[in-house]
Structure 1
């Protein structure tokens, strides 16, 4: 039986040369790692990105939301793959993170499994740190710097916007949240979701495609799209899962108008950082920084928002981020050593 990926593009930096005795094992682990990463990252990150969309459209059938976000995902992946000219679906985010020269081993399978466990308990850890640091520990510093800047920028932007720019608007939203909303807001929210969802995909697809060579064939891209669409269906059928609880605790996210503004700000920040550099960053940090700044700003002028509760929720989210960072650093420093000790390599 030939290699799983035995085609002309396997040679010279393609998937793998079929002459290697362990090629099939490596390639199977590669596909397993890709699928596990897709499952764990979609489960952890997608509710953070589409959380406000899910909350404010709770009255709509899940399959309608599923068809919408799946069509955007398909368009983003196909465009990125064709536009790269070399079959790179990660939008160049992996240029500084080389594919392991010995291929994917069980060492790289551990992070997505751990991520699945953490997601089950509703812990919004950074998939960027947890997954990519295993492939390139030396990139942790640059990724952490960019992510911390993302959190700080998102926090400050939210404070300024919600405290000074749209203070009266947010008060109006709070007073009229139970009244019927204009269809214009429905259209704006779906547009903002498309904008945000596409920017998130461009940033975080690298966390999944890191498990395969930087150039993938069209058939594998179609396989990847199928996997993502199925997983999106599961997430939306479950209305976001455990991570969705974090979004639902934030003030007014079920209001389609508030959700629209959050999504536009979040997407704009991701767009700015995308243009800044190709270094991967944690979208989770940006998202929670935005929500934290918004909560503090709204607590300053909305009497119904408890300042103590706001501080407690923001602190809990920050602690979860730090917990995920500590785990990422621990894995990046200990797993390679353990792997070499066990395998004798």
Structure 2
């Protein structure tokens, strides 16, 4: 159980943190990593303690209410976080919700998780495409980007980005605490809370010091993600999607699919309006990102069947 938490905690944070903090890290690369880590750690600590205090020791915001702790632990449960760890190291943005929670979920709940996640991709894709068709010429053109880089309104956007990042980070944590804490009891003592929080903050420090690692490329290759205004808008749109759609019910969902859908819709809209000559290349990029998350889903399903085979065989 403890080993499972340690593996899942590191793998989930390393894979998913780039969805929420990737643009924040990129557009604030001139700041020392410890400052960015301290800011993100403060938001995480407050979000975790809030759920623990107001939900009677539950830190998952009720996302684990329908996923009980197994009566008997089996070594094969560790295959899920180990596979996630490997996929993260090679830069595949796999859904941590699928690969971790599906091991512990009933068949009916797995279907609901998949359905909610696929709808999340579609909603994010369409919403981002429509929004960026409207704003791309004013926000993402070379002239507009250079104005921000040269200092016009930059202080406003710096404040806006840190605020939007705090909002987005807290909404992501509400969704993904379930993936991190699924190996632990559903009600944590204050001692367990302190130790688990300390471990998570250490893992985050390692990731921030690496500036995201290999999987950061999912964000860094997208248009203008190092520009602070563009990064702020991505964070804000993503946060609103998680806040509205993610909280529509307590069924866990893949934030990865929502994030990839958002980037895909944004990239296509920007290319269609501002860079038509590169639209074929962008289409390939969008297709490759979708292929990666679908691959992650297939791997997750295979691992779930493998784990259940080992459990039933023994």
1:17-52 Cα offsets, whole Å, 9 max, x none, are: xxxxxxxxxxxxx11100110010111001221000
Give the match for residue 105 of structure 2.
136
Shift of 1:305: 6.8
- Paired residue for 1:121? 90
The question of whether the paired residues in 2 share the 8 Å contact of 1:137 and 1:332 is answered with: no
Which blocks of at least 5 consecutive residues in structure 1 are unaligned?
1-29
Partner of 2:129: 159
User: Do the aligned partners of residues 304 and 187 (structure 1) sit closer, same or farther apart at CA in structure 2, a change above 3 Å counting?
Assistant: farther
Matches within 5 A, 1:213-224: 213-224=185-196
Counterpart contact for 2:45–2:197, Cα < 8 Å = yes
Tell me the matched-pair count.
311
- Report how far residue 184 of structure 1 moved: 0.9
Q: CA deviation at 1:300?
A: 1.1
Q: Which moved more, 1:328-337 or 1:274-283?
A: 328-337
Q: 1:232 aligns with which of 201, 204, 227?
A: 204
| Cα distance change, pair 302–34 in 1 and its aligned pair in 2 (3 A) | same
1:254 aligns with 2:223: no
Equivalent residue number for residue 34 of structure 1:
5
Q: Deviations over 1:160-182 (max 9, x none)?
A: 11002454222253453542252
Return the offset for 1:253: 0.4
In our comparison, the structure showing a higher alpha carbon Rg is 1
Match of residue 92 from structure 1? 62
In structure 2, the residue matched to 1:55 is 26
SS of the residue corresponding to residue 214 of structure 2 reads: coil
The answer on whether the counterparts of 2:136 and 2:269 sit within 8 Å (CA) in structure 1 is: no
Whether the 8 Å contact between 2:246 and 2:253 is mirrored in structure 1 is no
SS of structure 2 residue aligned to 1:301 = helix
1:331 and 1:277 mapped to 2: Cα distance?
27
Name the CA shift for 1:167/1:153 in 2 (closer, same or farther; >3 Å). farther
Once superposed, what is the RMSD of the aligned Cα atoms?
1.4
Provide Cα deviations, 1:42-73, integer angstroms capped at 9, x if missing partner. Answer: 11001221000001001110000010000110
Structure 2 CA distance, aligned partners of 1:273 and 1:235? Answer: 28
| Structure 1 residues 1-345: aligned runs within 5 Å | 30-84=1-55, 86-102=56-72, 104-138=73-107, 139-171=109-141, 172-176=143-147, 178-181=149-152, 182-303=154-275, 306-341=278-313, 343=314
What TM-score comes out, normalization by structure 2 length? 0.96
Contact 1:47/1:241 (8 A) holds in 2: no
The answer to whether the 8 Å contact 1:48/1:243 transfers is no
Q: In structure 2, how many angstroms separate the alpha carbons of the residues matched to 1:306 and 1:280? A: 36
Following the alignment from structure 2 to structure 1, what is the Cα–Cα distance between the partners of residues 46 and 34?
18
Q: Where do 5+ consecutive residues of structure 2 fail to align?
A: none
Structure with higher helix content: 2
TM-score, normalised on structure 1?
A: 0.87
| Contact map agreement 1:295 1:310 (CA 8 A) in 2 | yes
> 1:330: how far off?
1.0
